[in-house]
Structure 1
Amino acid sequence: MGTPTIDQTLEAAKVFADPTAYADEQRLHRALSYLRANQPVVYVDYEPYRPFYAITKHADVMDIERDNELWLSEPRPLLGTAEADDLAKAQLEAGMGLRTLIHMDDPHHRDVRKIGADWFRPKAMRDLKVRVDELARRYVDKMVEIGPQCDFVTDIAVHYPLYVILSLLGLPESDFPRMLKLTQELFGGDEEEYKRGTTPEEQLQVLMDFFNYFTELTISRRKNPTEDLASAIANGRINGELLSDTDCLSYYVIVATAGHDTTSHAIAGGMRALIEHQDQLERLKAHPELMGTAVEEMIRWSTPVKEFMRTAAADTEVRGVPIKAGESVYLSYVSANFDEEVFDDPFRFDVGRDPNKHLAFGYGVHFCLGAALARMEINSFFTELLPRLDSIELAGTPELASTVFVGGLKHLPIRYSVR
Structure 2
Amino acid sequence: MSTAPHFDIDVPAFWQDPYPTLARMRKQAPIAFVPQLGSTLLCNRDDIFVSEKQIDVFSSHQPEGLMNRLMGHNMMRKDGDAHMNERKAIFPAVSPKTVRSHWTAQFEQHAARILDELKPDGVVDFVQAFALPFSAQCLKSITGLTNMRFQDMNAWSQGMIDGIANYVGDPAIEARCHAATSGIDAAIDDMVPRLRKTPDLSLLGVMLQTDMPMESVRANIKLAISGGQNEPRDAIAGTVWALLTHRDQLTLATSGAVPWLQVFEEYARWISPIGMSPRRIAKPWTIRDVAFETNERVFLMFGSANRDEKHFDRSDAFDVRRDASKSIAFGAGPHFCAGAWASRAMVADVALPAIFNRLKKLRLIEDKPPRIGGWAFRGLLDLPVTWDV
TM-score between both structures, scaled by the size of structure 2: 0.88
Partner residue of 1:311 out of 280, 283, 307: 280
Query: Are the counterparts in 2 of residues 40 and 57 from structure 1 also a CA contact under 8 Å?
Result: yes
- Secondary structure at 1:10's aligned position in 2? coil
Identity across the alignment (%): 23
Question: For residues 254 and 99 of structure 1, do their structure 2 counterparts lie closer, same or farther at Cα, with a shift above 3 Å needed?
Answer: same
1:136 to 102, 111, 129: 111
**Structure 2, unpaired ranges of 5+:** none
SS at match of 1:366: coil
Mark the runs of 5 or more structure 1 residues left unpaired by the alignment. Answer: 1-5, 92-96, 238-242
Among 81, 87, 106, the alignment partner of 1:113 is 87
Match of 2:372 among 400, 405, 410: 400
1:202 is displaced (CA, Å) by 5.1
Letter in 2 for 1:391: K
For 1:65, the aligned partner's letter is: E
Distance 1:293 1:382 in 2: 12
Counterpart residue type for residue 369 of structure 2: T
The amino acid across from 2:272 in the alignment is T
SS in 1 for 2:259: helix
Task: State how 1:6-405 maps to structure 2 within 5 Å.
Answer: 10-11=7-8, 14=9, 18=11, 21-22=14-15, 24-25=16-17, 28-46=18-36, 49=37, 51-75=38-62, 80=66, 89=69, 98-127=72-101, 128-143=103-118, 145-147=119-121, 149-172=123-146, 175-189=149-163, 198=172, 200-201=174-175, 203-237=177-211, 243-379=212-348, 380-395=350-365, 396-401=368-373, 403=374, 405=376
Which deviations, in whole Å up to 9, do the C-alpha atoms of 1:336-393 show, x marking residues without a partner? 1111111111122111211432111111110000101111111121112223444233
- Give the stretch that moved more between structures: 99-108 or 216-225: 216-225
Q: CA RMSD in A?
A: 2.7
Q: Return the alpha-carbon distance in structure 1 between the equivalents of residues 257 and 64 of structure 2.
A: 39
Q: Distance in 2 between matches of 1:44 and 1:317?
A: 18
Describe the shift of the 1:148–1:190 C-alpha distance in structure 2 as closer, same or farther (beyond 3 A).
farther
Deviation at 1:225, TM superposition (A): 3.3
| CA shift digits 1:16-56 (9 cap, x unpaired) | xx36523x22xx2111111101110001222xx5x321000
Task: Provide the residue aligned with 1:240 in structure 2.
Answer: none
Q: Are positions 1:410 and 2:384 aligned together?
A: no
Please give the alpha-carbon distance, in whole angstroms, between the structure 1 residues aligned to 2:338 and 2:164.
26
Which amino acid in the other structure matches residue 86 of structure 2? Answer: V
SS of residue matched to 2:254? helix
- Following TM superposition, by how much is the alpha carbon of 1:152 offset from its aligned partner in structure 2, in angstroms? 0.7
How many residues are matched?
Answer: 378
Q: Which amino acid aligns with 1:381?
A: A
Q: Is the 8 A contact 1:315 1:324 kept in 2?
A: yes
SS at match of 1:415: strand
* Cα distance in 2 for residues equivalent to 1:29 and 1:404: 9
Q: Could you tell me whether the CA contact under 8 Å between 1:266 and 1:298 is conserved in 2? A: yes
> 1:258: how far off?
1.7
